[in-house]
Amino acid sequence: MNNNTVYDYQNEVLENEELIETFNNNNLNYDILLKTLLFTIIFYILTNNMIIFYLKTIFSKNIDVNIIQTLIFSLLFYLLMSNL
């Protein structure tokens, strides 16, 4: 027995006559893609040698620059993600 009919419960409950589905071949989520790009650019700016030099001059040699970079990045991440 070759039964190719598919039981469509949703259309039966909603009393739809025909099934309308749009298939999207584009599986990219642009929101996530743009946020990733944004944070990649922020990370690149924070790890730039010029920024490292400025952080070393501001915070002297007492505090590690990597910790300051991490704190700045986490603060920017929090502020941007709370508003986006």
d(CA 38, CA 32): 10
| Block mean pLDDT (10 aa), the chain, length 84 | 55 59 64 89 93 89 87 90 78
Determine the pLDDT at residue 44: 94
Determine the pLDDT at residue 83: 77
Task: Count Cβ atoms below 10 Å from residue 67 Cβ, excluding itself.
Answer: 11
Task: Count Cβ atoms below 10 Å from residue 51 Cβ, excluding itself.
Answer: 16
Determine the pLDDT at residue 26: 63
d(CA 53, CA 7): 66
